[in-house]
Amino acid sequence: MSVIVTVRERIERGRSVALYLWAVVMAVVLFVVELGGSGARTASWLGAAATALLGVYLGWTRRFPTVFVAPLVSWLVAAVPLLVASMIHHGPFSGIWIGLATVTIGWIGIGGAEFLWLALVAGAVRLMRGPGPGVSTIIGPPPRP
């Protein structure tokens, strides 16, 4: 009977700072886009660039599963600013209902777009970087007669 054991070298580092910083940037982007005006297009491009940078970071550090959690973190940080921006843009009474619809229903589209863009960039960087160092396979003793 042979035993095959794969040993990986894992170094645990805090990667949540980049995720939270990205979530704050996305909250500001969504706030500016909801308010409209001349800065909305620039803010959209800034959000796409920030998402691409987070994707590069997650792919480079081999933290692809974080892509699944990132839109949820972004939504948690951006929910209140998006609601406030909607109330500023549409007025306090109608803005509360439009903001709640944007936060609940619109998040599906926003989170889906964030997820797809993050997954595309992080996956591409991960594939370009290749397998990680420190992976070794130990094959146990050969079977005895």
pLDDT tens by residue, 53-101: 999 998 888 888 889 999 999 999 999 998 999 999 888 899 899 888 8
- Local confidence band at 51 (pLDDT 50, 70, 90 cut-offs): very high
Cα of first residue to Cα of last residue in the chain, in angstroms, is 11
In the block, residue with structure tokens 């980049």: 18
Return the minimum-mean-pLDDT range out of 34-43, 45-54, 81-90, 120-129.
34-43
Which DSSP helix (H) or strand (E) runs through 13?
none
Coil vs helix vs strand at 115: helix
Q: Letter for the amino acid at 56?
A: V
Q: Quote the pTM value.
A: 0.77
Six token digits for residue 113? 């777009």
**Residue predicted with more confidence, 96 or 36:** 96
